[in-house]
Amino acid sequence: MNISSPRKVPEKLLLGPGPTPVEQRVLQALAQPTLGHLDKNFVAIMDETRELLRYVFQTKNELTIAMPGTGSAGMETACVNMIERGDKVIICEHGVFGTRMHDVAERCGAEVVSVTAPMGKPIDPEDVRRAIKANPDAVLVGIVHAETSTGVLQPLDEIASYAHDAGMYMLVDAVTSLGGMEVPVDRLGLDMVYSGSQKCLACPPGLAPVTVSPRATERIKNRKTKVQSWYLDLTMIMRYWGQERFYHHTAPVNMIYALNEALRIIAEEGLENRFARHRRNAEALWAGLEAMGLKLLVDYEYRLPSLTSIVVPEGVDEAMVRRQLMEEYNIEIGAGLGELKGKIIRVGLMGSGSNKKNIELFLVALGNVLR
């Protein structure tokens, strides 16, 4: 075994569902000296990171932090803190991640009422309204904003207003939307929203930004039972990220540097510009794919700018397409998940990966592979 030189990892063009390309600036931030996690210089970085997270979440929520772990840790944080054993919850499932949320909620001891939509379609707000009416004792409605397994961008306005009118909380998965499109936390009063660092935030995987409304924070503080997960218990973690700096766990120091830098890049570009860039590039990709005669899974109105699902044409071996793209062009894209395995391929244009050059490279490569 040769361990005498530092390992060199090959560079690849990440155009899949995530992780997505990470800019040098962020990688350099990751390589800065590790500080003590209660060091005043690190605490200042944590504070700035919270401010920047509030900016991307478009919120003033005091409880806005980055949890250690990937997007699924965000989902677990949301569920373990908001749900007490025996609570009834309404979970919307229109893809693999909604189904994962159902599973996590059930593991928290919830009685789950599910509202479903076919793969590639959004949840119909009327179905949620009916579920709320039939289950007025439910405590929350959980939903995925950007369903990465299908490429659907779920409209939230109506569903949020139905949930709030009934006194329920809105729990939202913004893993593939945060930093690439509007996640209107304060405008819609979303109560518990989580994301992942490795998608439109364009940071390596490892952190799960979370924001909690004042009303949901009160619910968590006033729980009858302890949060079932010690590690993800926000009642303790809020004291670590707050003024008190009460030790809970050792913050993943260098990952916070990386997230901080990725968020600074977003603030420099400006949210509106960033949203417009994601939209513009997605439109260009869709036009290019349709010009090649390919069909997209999701209707135009509900297409996610950060992730496009292409229907695999008759007689094409999608695994071979992905393999060839990787071996001959060094491009990674994603396979279909769950019911859509073998039926679609998924292309991500997220963060700095959402640019014209990548679209051109991908369209040429895909055209050659399909020829």
Residues interacting with ligand PLP, by CB under 6 A?
17-18, 70-72, 75, 97, 144, 146, 148, 173, 175-176, 196, 205
3-state secondary structure of 165: helix
DSSP β-ladder status, 344-348 and 88-93: unpaired
Q: CB-wise, 195 or 365, nearer to ligand PLP?
A: 195
Q: C-beta of 367: minimal distance to ligand PLP in Å?
A: 27
Alpha-carbon torsion, ordered 43, 49, 53, 59, to 10 deg = 50
346 has binding-site annotation: yes
Q: CB-wise, 59 or 99, nearer to ligand PLP?
A: 99
Alpha carbons 46 and 183: distance in angstroms, whole number? 22
**Cα 41–Cα 212–Cα 265 angle in degrees, nearest 5:** 50
Q: CB-wise, 184 or 348, nearer to ligand PLP?
A: 348
Q: C-beta of 195: minimal distance to ligand PLP in Å?
A: 9
Q: CB-wise, 49 or 198, nearer to ligand PLP?
A: 198
Alpha carbons 137 and 88: distance in angstroms, whole number? 7
DSSP β-ladder status, 344-348 and 334-335: antiparallel
Q: C-beta of 145: minimal distance to ligand PLP in Å?
A: 8
Q: C-beta of 32: minimal distance to ligand PLP in Å?
A: 24
Q: CB-wise, 94 or 129, nearer to ligand PLP?
A: 94
Q: C-beta of 92: minimal distance to ligand PLP in Å?
A: 12
Alpha carbons 350 and 332: distance in angstroms, whole number? 13
Q: C-beta of 262: minimal distance to ligand PLP in Å?
A: 15
Looking at beta carbons, which residue is closest to ligand PLP?
Answer: 71
Closest residue by Cα to residue 213 from 232, 228, 234, 231: 234
Handedness of CA 183, 60, 234, 40 (dihedral sign): positive
Q: CB-wise, 173 or 318, nearer to ligand PLP?
A: 173
If DSSP states are collapsed to H, E and C, what string results for 63-118?
A: EEEEEECCHHHHHHHHHHHHCCCCCEEEEEECCHHHHHHHHHHHHCCCEEEEEECC
Binding-site entries for substrate: 346
